Chain A
């Protein structure tokens, strides 16, 4: 194998790829725009929903308000909900989502509550289990009743000479000991590795097809095979180009992400005012290094498969299901409960997204990192071997 020949093939393919609008869009424009658009979109949507939810007030029915005049008055006064006149068909209305909740005060409940009793009074709240707005309004009703309880108890205790601390034997304070960098990393680590892996695949997809099946379709594969370049040099040149595009996509998306986070901190603050944003550059570099064997695996596997196809379109048919094979483990890694184990560290793609989660959270589990890098490198090696074998089989190259 002559490096200069590989370089010639590489340069030729690079020129061709850069002239293709499609590659430019999928490997440069999409990764650069995806994160700003996504983050901007989510924050705009979040503000929109919050303001909308404020605008149309959920309705609540108070049954037996004469049994609890003070509580009913407080419910009426409660902001962001509307008390409607009582009716017998409250259950049906809740079911139809016209009414969000109904609270039922039994006879004499408030009067009994004001005197010291050996038993608590029970108030029923009818709601739509699991429904977003019903849940919200039920919480409000519960809060109003809880506040009423506290005041009543406090008054009863005060009349017996006990101070307000009687009900609060101690306080509990929650203190976050993780740095802002780790907290942000934990949140972005859920989504980011997955996005980068997907972009790594989609970025490699078009050049991989274009350089194999596309070449067949255009009828230029015979010409290039007849040139004084060895088969292995040809594969290497093409492979290196697909790898370059794939890695370029991954690098650009990581860079765009970092810029979005740093630049769009004000927008994100709208979603969660508590969130202090910080991104660790070290983690980004480490993730990129782990993506390296994944990109090799993708590039080789895509080329090996696309080469079987006779045309660009046929290649796409074969590769579309591959997207699912890649997306599914990546989605699993986003589930909160899943953490790295030696077994999971052997599953390609899933292992990288899991370890990337740890890296963003500021942890460097070196034995896992090495295991994952090693296992992915082995998979990538197998894929390269197959790609080279495919290129040496004439019945694949000239399939009709």
Chain B
């Protein structure tokens, strides 16, 4: 390998790319704008919807309220329920979302309870409709409080202390460091964005330097030059890697500054938890992204070299994008954690480790394993890219 020759290729390709507005846009502008917009946008929406849910009064109907004066009184007093006058078409109104739920009391509901009977209360609602289910929750809160009152009265009548109903009370106490406690699921999207930007950042240069070159008809010229095939591949590969890593670094910087300056919005989005990073955590993520970026760059180069034109390369790679997104999405499913098995699945392992790091953990043995596994995949991808570049039947496919 002739390092000087490789450097010449590298410089030429870099200059080519930096003159392309599209690269600059993807590398600097897009990551810089993405994180502030997402944080401010989602933060505002989270805050607004939460405030609205707290203040909301659900329209609810009581059927035969005269059968349960005490419970009806409690339901009327609830801050979150708006009791509408009784009507026969309650089911139709629930279906039309004008009414969220209806409570139906059986005949002599209260009398039966006082007499030791066991009547049945019915709550009519709209299954799977979020507000209807919220209204049912609010109604059940009131109903449970009423049940407790009835039980307390019964215990008093039987000359037993009320506490005898619950011999043992349980109390949850969180021992995880407060900053590790997961906030909104939404917040977990941001770490994945960094990994995805690492991939999308490499995409355009990888296609431009291979299929694009073919399309412009300059590939033959380049191959006929005095530079060896290996040096060309290495030079091109390094440029793609550079762009990919720059995109990643820019997006991390953007993330960190957003977390710093838009603190209020970030807290709304994360439900009061901070997902900012220490220097050590940020550097660890960069370290893990390095082999991943190599893997992406080499794979993309190997794939797009076979395409005849930029458009064709996009078509092939575009359909494969889903395979890159899928592990990231799987990583967001709550039950999936980092285990020795998941640590060897490419992309998924990095997104799982990133999740740990973003929530304040630094599991070193796993980090080492993920790093090694990704390095191995990267080496395979590099080797594949090199052998495809040396294969004329791939390079000059019909």
Contacts and interface: CB of A to CB of B under 8 A. Distances in A.
A179 B41 CA distance: 36
B181 A125 contact: no
Contacts of A123: 168-171
Interface in A151-168: 152-153, 156-157, 160, 162, 165-168
Contacts of A148: 167-168
Nearest to A362: B95
B175 A95 contact: yes
A183 interface: yes
B161 A117 contact: yes
B187 to A, nearest CB: 11
Contact of A178 (B120, B127, B174): B127
Interface string A267-300: 0000000000000000000000000000000000
A283 B168 CA distance: 53
B164 interface: yes
Contacts of B255: none
Contacts of A186: 126, 128-129
B99 to A, nearest CB: 10
A272 to B, nearest CB: 9
A175 B123 contact: yes
B175 A173 contact: no
B358 to A, nearest CB: 14
B18 interface: no
Given A145-B170, A167-B151, A313 B121 contact: no
B118 A173 contact: no
A120 B172 contact: no
B182 A145 contact: no
B215 to A, nearest CB: 10
B164 A153 contact: yes
Interface size class of B (residues with CB under 8 A): 35 or more
B87 to A, nearest CB: 14
A395 interface: no
Interface residues of A, number: 79
Interface in B94-113: 94-97, 109, 112-113
B91 A177 contact: yes
B172 A363 contact: no
Contacts of B161: 116-119
A173 B121 contact: yes
Interface stretch (B219-227, B329-337, B374-382): B329-337
Nearest to B178: A129
B45 A171 contact: no
Contacts of A361: 97, 129
B173 interface: yes
B177 interface: yes
A175 B122 contact: yes
A119 B120 contact: no
Q: Is the interface of B mostly helix, strand, loop or mixed?
A: mixed
Given A174-B125, A186-B128, A168 B175 contact: no
A332 interface: yes
A367 to B, nearest CB: 14
A124 interface: yes
A258 B151 CA distance: 51
B111 to A, nearest CB: 12
A53 B45 contact: no
A182 to B, nearest CB: 6
Interface stretch (A223-231, A245-253, A333-341): A333-341
A284 B129 CA distance: 19
B130 interface: yes
A171 B119 CA distance: 6
Interface in A82-130: 90-91, 94-97, 109, 112-114, 116-130
B125 A335 contact: no
B52 interface: yes
A356 interface: no
B176 interface: yes
A131 B182 contact: yes
Interface in A278-336: 312-314, 317, 328, 332, 335-336
B167 A121 contact: yes
B156 to A, nearest CB: 13
A317 B25 contact: yes
B165 interface: yes
Interface in A222-246: none
Contacts, number: 205
Interface string A330-357: 0010011110000000000000000000
B12 interface: no
A346 B182 CA distance: 36
A382 interface: no
A129 B167 contact: no
Contact of A156 (B113, B120, B164): B164
Contacts of A113: 167-168
B335 A95 contact: no
A399 interface: no
Contacts of B169: 120-123
B113 A169 contact: yes
Nearest to A156: B164
Contacts of B127: 176, 178, 183
Nearest to A173: B122
Contact of B118 (A53, A90, A125, A168): A168
B177 A363 contact: no
Given A124-B171, A182-B95, A153 B165 contact: yes
B296 interface: no
Contacts of A338: 49
Interface string A183-202: 10011000000000000000
A386 B289 CA distance: 44
Given A149-B168, A165-B116, A169-B151, A94 B121 contact: no
A141 interface: yes
A187 to B, nearest CB: 5
A182 B122 CA distance: 21
A130 B171 contact: no
Contacts of A397: none
A173 B181 CA distance: 35
A172 interface: yes
A76 interface: no
Contact of A177 (B95, B336, B361): B95
B79 interface: no
Contacts of A165: 116, 118
A178 B94 contact: yes
20 contacts: A25-B315, A45-B330, A90-B175, A117-B161, A119-B161, A122-B171, A131-B181, A145-B170, A152-B167, A165-B118, A166-B154, A170-B112, A176-B125, A177-B90, A177-B94, A177-B95, A177-B125, A186-B129, A314-B22, A332-B45
Given A123-B170, A127-B173, 17 more contacts: A21-B315, A112-B167, A114-B167, A120-B167, A125-B172, A127-B176, A128-B175, A129-B174, A129-B181, A131-B182, A156-B164, A170-B147, A171-B120, A172-B122, A174-B123, A312-B311, A313-B310
